[in-house]
Structure 1
Amino acid sequence: MSVGISRIILPPNTLITKDDCVRTCAELLALTGGKPGGVLLQITGIGSFSPEAISAFGEAATVTAFGVLGKTQVDRVIAHRLLRPAPPRCPTKYFTDKDEAISWLRTIG
């Protein structure tokens, strides 16, 4: 991954819960030492996000931008749920190409 950009790969075929998000955010905080940065959030093939999980990801304090990476139309629908009704506090954009997502994250951060 690029300097200042972390990659989170969510497990496929699962319902992502608030507990999953809290654990992932804690791991991210430990990994980055609390330094702000962009996150490439790979959601390819996940089952769904609980409403509480969506709120938890949107409130990640040290994340300066989310590049949400998926491949399928289902991934796009799930990503849309992440951005509505209350978008995250930082810029967030959906991508199907990893390199485009990383380039965008570099321009934001």
Structure 2
Amino acid sequence: MPMSDEAMLHRSITWAGHYHGCAMVSNLGTIVPRLVPQAWTPSVPGWVCLSVDGGMSLSSGKVRIGGPIRNVEDDWIVWFVKSIGFSNSLQAELWAIFEGMKLA
């Protein structure tokens, strides 16, 4: 059953909270994500894995988001990439989660 946009947005914000909770403040006062090496792990049979990311050009400030949806064998089912204009890194991660969940 499809999820409403409101439910997807709520879930996206929840995931972003987890992402933000893994951040630390640098000595310059900016928030920097803690980089923890992550390896892909197979999803449960019958499920898919959504991986998302957002990135910002330091020179232009433009933000792009994207990521793959993979099956249990690690085969890509679909990939998405989208430009979302000007934003910050947290909003980019939020939009990436939101757009990825809509696609899933």
Instruction: Answer 1 or 2: which has greater strand percent.
Output: 2
Q: State the TM-score, normalized to the length of structure 2.
A: 0.30
Instruction: Answer 1 or 2: which has greater helix percent.
Output: 1
Higher relative contact order (CA 8 A, sep 6+): 1
Q: State the TM-score, normalized to the length of structure 1.
A: 0.30
